Amino acid sequence: MPVLVTLALVSGDAAAQELPKPLAPSSKWQIDYASGDCRLIRSFGEGRHLVTLQFARANDIDELVMALGGREMPTTREEVPVAVGTSTVAQVPGMHARGFATDDHLLGSIRFHTDVDLPKALRSDVSQGKPTVLSVAFVRGYRLALDLGMMKAPLAALDACADDLVKGWGVDLAQMRRQRSAPEPANDVSRWFRSSDYPEKQGHQGAGGLVGIRLVIGVDGAVTKCEVYMSGGDKTFEETTCRLVMERARFRPAIGADGRPIASLWARRVNWRPGDLSFTVQ
């Protein structure tokens, strides 16, 4: 079964529509040293307008997973294009998100795809000395603006947490930061997972799961370590994901500043989908 990859463009109309007045913060930034990632969390607004923002980072690569939680957020069946902007970047390119709701449909969340351009936009605000106003234009007319304030200190705290995560993984942090290129899959990602790999019990029960994995890629391109940094809690999905990746994945190694291969990290999420026993690598 091939791995499904969806590519789409954000509609210019969504980004162009007028945004509401930015919500002011109603809490301080909190840094959460979770077991597998670092999370930067803050709340905005009050009462029925309360929104919680989270930035999560799972490794030393400068990429973020953003999530919003609040009331009456729109739901989607899959990831769809979403327009996101900051004070200095009108629209972060290529962002996607999926909307989720609780049973009462009052509280929900919007979970964004892992992105490398989002931290660049936030750091652009910092380099130009501007407080960040984060804007989001999502499906069905959902519009949101958040007054994040100056992001220099919060991003520095997130960076420090990520540095701590990397320790003990068998990679040289200084080398990684100077690498010319990151590891890249050398064989077809669609061959890493097959419909026959779907755990039989979970398949019969219609169970699925999202598993975030972090790999250590050696100088020869081999996967030397697989660690789960995010999961719905089903150990079968966790163990099966890492086992299959260790058996089947091959990489071109990262290239260091001197042009030679180095050990480095590669992180993605694997979405086990019960409806058609298929997989999406995100």
Residue 176, pLDDT score:
85
Residue 138, pLDDT score:
96
Lateral strand order in the sheet of 132-137: 83-85, 132-137, 143-149
Q: Which residues pair with 66 in a beta bridge?
A: 55
Q: Are 238 and 226 in contact (CB under 8 A)?
A: no
Output the pTM of the full model.
Answer: 0.72
φ, ψ (nearest 5 deg) of residue 247:
-75, -40
Sorted by where each begins, the domain ranges of the chain are 12-165, 173-281
Residue 234, pLDDT score:
83
φ, ψ (nearest 5 deg) of residue 265:
-115, 150
| Interval 44-84: pLDDT, tens | 999 989 999 999 987 767 889 999 999 989 999 888 999 99
State the burial class of residue 7 (Cβ atoms within 10 Å of its Cβ: 0-12, 13-18, 19+).
exposed
Q: Are 224 and 217 in contact (CB under 8 A)?
A: yes
Q: Are 55 and 40 in contact (CB under 8 A)?
A: yes
Closest CA to 237 of 200, 275, 189: 200
Class of domain 173-281: alpha beta
| Cα(17)–Cα(253) distance, integer angstroms | 43
Higher pLDDT, 125 or 205: 125
Measured CA angle at 15 (ends 149, 48), to 5 deg? 55
Measured CA angle at 124 (ends 34, 69), to 5 deg? 40
Three-state DSSP state, 67: strand
Name the band, by pLDDT with cuts 50, 70 and 90, for residue 1.
very low
| Cα(259)–Cα(103) distance, integer angstroms | 53
Name the band, by pLDDT with cuts 50, 70 and 90, for residue 15.
very low
Residue 8, pLDDT score:
31
Higher pLDDT, 12 or 212: 212
Q: Which of 52-66, 132-146, 213-227 has the lowest mean pLDDT?
A: 52-66
Residue 211: partners with Cβ closer than 8 Å, 6 or more residues away: 228, 230, 231, 232, 237, 238, 241, 269, 270, 271, 272
Measured CA angle at 81 (ends 76, 82), to 5 deg? 90
| Cα(117)–Cα(61) distance, integer angstroms | 12
Closest CA to 164 of 12, 267, 32: 32
